[in-house]
Amino acid sequence: MEKNELRFKGKKILQDISVKERLQIEAKMQESLFKSEIWKSAHVVGVTLSQTHEWSTEPIIEEGWRTDKKVVVPKCIPESREMEFYHLEKYDQLERVYFGLREPKPESSALVKKDDIDLLLVPGLLFDDKGYRIGYGGGYFDRFIEGFRGKTLMIASERQRYTPLPFEEYDQRVEYVLTESGIHSTYHF
């Protein structure tokens, strides 16, 4: 199956999860994440601001704040399809940009270097056992993960597992996937 077809499939899977199931899955994901060494040992955590159809990241951002982590969130640069991360201390540092996306306002938050990020939480539509993924098609995460030295962990439900996924030379693998059944490491596959 082609990437675009898979992207459609992934979106459909997310849409078909009921509100009740969604909350149950998110509760299990958060429990596994917060008790993990990967989370506990990270001082600087990169995370996206989820949209309504995505796995909610607010509880993760707020747990990060509660446990004195530095939470950093991306701003996309459409011209180069790159991302820059800014330190988020409170939600009023955000603004609504295109497609209803929330991004940090560069004038009210500090830029954080890629090398300073310990753990990057990666969104996406589908994943496979090797950590290949189908994202939203912009290549933003593929570009960012290339040369990134911290840990990468994708957040997805077991229903979004689809092995094997097609990949190209620029596609980057994530090291871990967090699902409702726990944290799965992918590099040994």
Residues lying near ligand ATP in the complex (CB under 6 A): 3, 124, 134-143, 146, 170-171
CB of 135 to Mg ion, least distance (A): 6
The two three-digit tokens of residue 72, written as one number: 């950093």
Burial class (CB in 10 A: 0-12, 13-18, 19+), 114: middle
Q: Which is nearer to ligand ATP, 8 or 65 (CB)?
A: 8
- Please identify, using beta-carbon distances, which residue of 171 and 175 lies nearer to Mg ion: 171
For Mg ion (CB under 5 A), the number of binding residues is: 2
Closer CB to ligand ATP, residue 37 or residue 168? Answer: 168
Give me 110's structure tokens: 């500090």
Binding residue (CB under 5 A) for Mg ion from 142, 159, 173, 181: 142
Residue 166 per-residue DSSP state: P
Give the shortest CB-7-to-Mg ion separation in angstroms.
10
Closest approach, Cβ 132 to Mg ion, in A, equals 8
Residue 166, binding choice from Mg ion, ligand ATP, none, Cβ under 5 to 8 Å by partner class: none
Report the site for Mg ion in 165-184 (rule: CB under 5 A).
Answer: 171
Q: Are 4 and 160 spatial neighbours (Cβ–Cβ below 8 Å)?
A: no
Chain residue whose CB lies nearest Mg ion: 171
6 close to 125: Cβ distance less than 8 angstroms: yes
| Residue 186 CA: distances (Å) to CA of 2, 50, 55, 119, 143 | 22, 24, 20, 16, 19
Q: Taking the CB of residue 168, how many other CB atoms lie within 10 A of it?
A: 9
CB of 73 to Mg ion, least distance (A): 21
| Binding site partner of 3, from ligand ATP, Mg ion, none, Cβ cut-off 5-8 A by kind | ligand ATP
Supply angle C-alpha 173, 176, 96, rounded to 5. 80
Provide the CB-side half-sphere exposure for 11 (13 A, CA): 10
Which residues sit at the interface with Mg ion, rule CB under 5 A?
142, 171
